Amino acid sequence: MPQRQPRRVVVQRLRAASRASSALLVVLLVGACATTPARATNGGKLRVVAAEDFWGSVAQSLGGDEVEVQSLIDSPVIDPHDYEPTASDARAMATAGLVIVNGVGYDGWASKLLAANPSSNRKTIDVGKLVGARAGDNPHRWYNPDDVSAVVTAITNAYSVAEPSKAEYFAAQRRRYQDGDLGRYQALIADIKAKYSGTPVGASESIFSMLGTALGLRVVTPPSFLRAISEGADPTASDKRLIDKQIREHAIQVYVYNSQNATPDVRAQVNAATSAGIPVVAITESPTPASASFTAWQITQLTALQKALAKGVRQ
């Protein structure tokens, strides 16, 4: 299985190249607020800005032809944790009718942009606040199917409030989404849960934790290891020994890892699982390819996981 360079290594290089413009950026952020009037619509379309493309994709599917969606982070090599926004990002938020941020500390830069560019014409959906997540909770809310459903409802409601005359259109878009791509995503989750609930699996980081729970899977990797890899910290030697033992003794039937954050420890576990004949499934933190919709991306990953579970359980 091909290995990708850890995303956070790429981010460090991107950040190094952008630090020289940080002071100028502060000035531009203030200027954007002071000189650019807030415009909720553009050519009759509601202007929507999402901090990340996974939420931007959902917003586009629900808004159809009546919205113009811009995702500020739309590349799989950029880590939202450490992103350094640009003046154009500030202008985009200042002129949006709806802004969607993930929250829970995942994209703190986005909250700072909103504070620097206040607008009475703008509504904000902070996903973390919407679902009741607290500081320190798992920030990967788009990997929680219940949270995705909550965001779908919140976005549809926000559209209807912003454009009351188009409320029926937005309601129809939601039904179409539910009957189509979103429905297939939800049905696949239900099918995996029905067939493989209780199956022990290993994972590389906390990005899989909430989805694993929703699928009924038993993630046996130590939570401290999952958190350490997710936060870019060094896992403990005892956690690594336990995971090695789980793989060696086939205490897990599938190993799931984030290929955008494949640290040396994670790569070693992937190799060990592969050598032991344990199916390995790669997932990513953001849509891959970048052009994929949220549901297409998730369905592809869930399908791969379903096949891996079928193989692992048979062994």
Helix (H) or strand (E) holding 149: helix 145-162
DSSP H or E run through 257: strand 255-258
Point out the domain boundary residue: 151, 179, 207. Answer: 179
Mean pLDDT check: name the lowest of 3-7, 190-194, 222-226.
Answer: 3-7
Q: How far is CA 107 from the centre of its chain?
A: 11
CB 92 within 8 A of CB 72: yes
Using one digit for the tens of pLDDT, what is the confidence trace for 208-263? 999 999 999 999 999 999 999 999 999 999 999 999 999 999 999 999 999 999 99
pLDDT bin (cut points 50, 70, 90) of residue 39 is very low
Domain with residue 239: its CATH number is: 3.40.50.1980
Q: How many domains does the chain divide into? A: 2
Is there a single domain that holds both residue 209 and residue 144? Answer: no
Residue position matching structure tokens 């060094």: 234
Say if 220 falls within a structural domain.
yes
pLDDT at 144 over 60: yes
* pLDDT tens sequence across 261-271: 999 999 999 99
- Whether residues 156 and 295 share a domain: the answer is no
Residues 154 and 260 in one domain: no
156 is a domain residue: yes
126 is a domain residue:
yes
**Tokens standing for residue 206:** 């906390």
The secondary structure of 68-128 as a DSSP string is EEEEEE--TTS-GGG----HHHHHHHHT-SEEEE--TTTTHHHHHHHHHS--TT-EEEEHH
* pTM of the predicted structure, to 2 decimals: 0.88
39 and 69 part of one domain: yes
Classify residue 241 as exposed, middle or buried by CB count within 10 Å of its CB (0-12, 13-18, 19+).
Answer: exposed
